[in-house]
Structure 1
Amino acid sequence: MTDTTHFVAPEILYQDEYILALHKPAGVLVHPSWIAPARTPNLVSWLKQQYPEDTFHTLHRLDRATSGVIVFVRNNKELAQKIHTLFEQRKVKKTYWCVVRGWIDEAGTIDYALKPIADKYADHPKANPDKEPKDAVTHYRRLACVELPIPVGRYPVARYSLVEVKPETGRKHQIRRHMKHLLHPLVGDTKHGEGRHNRLFREHFAIQRLLLMATEISFEHPDSGQTMHFKAPLDAEVCHLLVQLGWQHLLPRTEHPEV
C-alpha cells in the first residue's frame, strides 16, 4: 500500500491473540477491489503493514462508504471458519444506525428477497450476472425524526428519521436496498438514494458521506463460549450532525461534540 493521500487509519477497538476489531472510517476499502485502482489504500493492506508477521482473515465486510466496527481473525484459520459458520447460522448480531428520508414507521421487519447485484466495477468480470434472489431480513426501529424548514422538490419542508437497523441476513447493500424498498432511502446513498436529499445534506450540513454506521457486533466465541461484543463510536462529523438535527440526547455522553 503506497498511496496514503486519502487514507484515514482505523481505530483499534479491541485486540487479543486471535481477534482484532477496528473502527473503519467512511470511504476506506476493506480489501483490494475491482472498483478502485491497484494500490488503493485498504484495511487489509494497512494490517499487513502494522503486523507484517501475521495473517488476517476477513470475517465480514462493510461497504466502502460505510463506517463502523469490523472484526478480523489473525493467525487462526480454524477459528475464522468457526465464526464464518456463526454468520451463516445467523448467530452474529449486528447493529447499524442510519439517516433516511421521511418519517419511517416506529418499528418493523423487512422480509424482502434481494437479487445478487451484478456490478461491472465491483464484481469479477466472470461473475454470473443472473442469480436468483436470496432471502433477506432486516429489523428496524426509529430512534428520532425531524422536520426541517427546507423545501425539497414539491414539498415545503424536508423530513428525516434516525433509524437503528439490525440485519438478520448479510446480502450486498441489504440495508440500503431494503430502505429504498420502503421508500425511505438512506441519505448520502449515491446508488440507491435520492440526489436531491443528498444535495440538501451537502449544502446545509457539509455532509459528503453515506449516513450508515455499523455501531455494534456481537457473537459467542466458538471456543471459550465468551460473548464478544464490540462497539464503534460515531464519527465526529456524524455526532455534530445529530446535534444540529436536535438528536443530541441519543448520543452517549462521551460522544458529545463541541458545538
Structure 2
Amino acid sequence: MKQFIITSNDAGQRLDKFLKKLMPNAALSLIYKLNRKNNVKVNRKREDNEYKLEEGDNVQLYVKDEEYEILTSVKVPVPVIGTGTRDGLNPKDIVYEDGDLLIVNKNPGVIVHPGDFKTTELSLIAQVQDYLGAKLNSLTFKPSLIHRIDKDTSGIVMIAKTKPSLDVMLKALQSNKIEKIYLAVCLGVPPETRGVIKKKLRRLEHAERENKIIIDEEGGQTAITHYQVLETGIQGKYSLIECRLETGRMHQIRVHMSSIGCPILGDNIYGDKQENAFAKRTYGIGRQLLHASRIGFIHPSKKVPVTYTAKLKEDMAELVGR
C-alpha cells in the first residue's frame, strides 16, 4: 500500500485528476477501475472520482510495488547542450526567491517552456525544476510559469512554487494587476517623448516566418502600450525606450513599436532587416533587444506591494552603455 498526505499544493483537485498526475502512465479507465474495486481510499474510506481533495487528506493506494513503478515512471527528454545545464540555474540569474515565488532574469535564446516549440532544447522551466529539485513539497504540483516572454527576449520571468500562489498570481495577471515594464532599443525616435499606442492586434494562425501578429482594428483584440523615451542618439541612430504593458498580447511591444516607425533592433519578424544585418555585423547583435526589466504586484501571501528589477544582459548593456 502507498500512502500520500495531501498538502496545500495538491488540495482542491479531483481525486481522479490527482491519481492521473501521480501515475501518468495509467489510463483513466484503470484509475476508475482501481477506485471501483476499493483499491483507492481517502482517509480509509472510498470516495467518488469527483471528490475534491482537502489539505491533510490521507490517500491510500493499493497496488503492487512493481505496478506502481511502471505507472509512475516518466522518460525525460535529453536537452540540447548549449542553452543551459541540467544542474540548475546560475545563481546570478535569480532576482528573488521565497517560499511562494521564484523570479529569474532569463537569458536570451532560452525558451521558457518546451511546449512552445517542438524541440528537446533545454527550457527555463526545466532549469527551474532542476534548481528546486526535492525542495518542493508536493506530490503532483510542479513549478509553473505565471507569464511568458519570447525566446529571444531577456529579463524577468516569474515562476510559482506553490499551487495557492499560482492561483493568486494568475488571477492578478488576468485582471491586469501585474505591472510589467520593458526596455527596448529601437531604430529611430518616436514622434513624442511619451505616448500611448492603442492598436488592436490579431494573430495569424498559420503564419510561420512572416508576421504572426498584425494590426487589425476591426477583428483584433485591444492592445495598449505606454512608452517613454529614455535616451536618444545611441550609436547615432538608436533610442532606448521604456514600455509599460497595459495589456499583454503576443508580440505586443514588438508590433506596436514597429507600427510607429521605431522597430526594435534585431527583431527579425517586425524589424528592419537591413538595419538588423548592419547591427549584427557591427555590434554582434543577434536577437531583438527587448528586456523585461521590472515587475510589480501584490505578493500572493504577504499581501504587500513589491517591485523587482532585472539588470540588462551584456549585449544590450554594452550597446547602450549601461
TM-score normalised per structure 1:
0.81
Match of 2:144 in 1: 57
Instruction: Count the aligned residue pairs.
Output: 225
Match of 1:23 in 2: 105
Match of 2:33 in 1: none
Q: Does 1:14 align with 2:96?
A: yes
| Aligned mates of 1:163, 1:177 — CA distance in 2 | 14
Which of 63, 69, 74 matches 2:156?
Answer: 69
| Aligned mates of 2:126, 2:259 — CA distance in 1 | 35
Q: Which amino acid aligns with 1:52?
A: G
| Aligned mates of 1:117, 1:136 — CA distance in 2 | 16
CA contact (8 A) 1:116 1:132 kept: no
| Aligned mates of 1:116, 1:59 — CA distance in 2 | 22
SS in structure 2 opposite 1:52? Answer: helix
When residues 222 and 132 of structure 1 are mapped into structure 2, their CA distance, relative to the original with a 3 A threshold, is: farther
**Matches for 1:164-175 after TM superposition, within 5 Å:** 164-175=242-253
User: Which of the pair has the greater relative contact order for Cα pairs under 8 Å at 6+ separation?
Assistant: 1
Which of 153, 169, 179 matches 1:93?
Answer: 179
- CA radius of gyration, larger in: 2
SS in structure 1 opposite 2:244? Answer: strand
| Aligned mates of 1:218, 1:40 — CA distance in 2 | 30
SS in structure 2 opposite 1:82? Answer: helix
Displacement of 1:35 in angstroms is 3.2
When residues 61 and 229 of structure 1 are mapped into structure 2, their CA distance, relative to the original with a 3 A threshold, is: same
When residues 159 and 18 of structure 1 are mapped into structure 2, their CA distance, relative to the original with a 3 A threshold, is: same
Q: Which has the higher helix share?
A: 2
SS in structure 1 opposite 2:231? Answer: strand
- Structure 1 segments, 4+ long, off by >4 Å, are 119-122
Q: Which amino acid aligns with 2:297?
A: F
SS in structure 2 opposite 1:33? Answer: helix
| Aligned mates of 1:89, 1:34 — CA distance in 2 | 24
| Aligned mates of 2:146, 2:204 — CA distance in 1 | 20
CA contact (8 A) 1:116 1:134 kept: no
TM-score normalised per structure 2:
0.66
| Aligned mates of 2:208, 2:129 — CA distance in 1 | 25
CA contact (8 A) 1:96 1:214 kept: yes
Q: Which amino acid aligns with 1:24?
A: K
SS in structure 2 opposite 1:7? Answer: coil
RMSD between aligned residues: 2.1
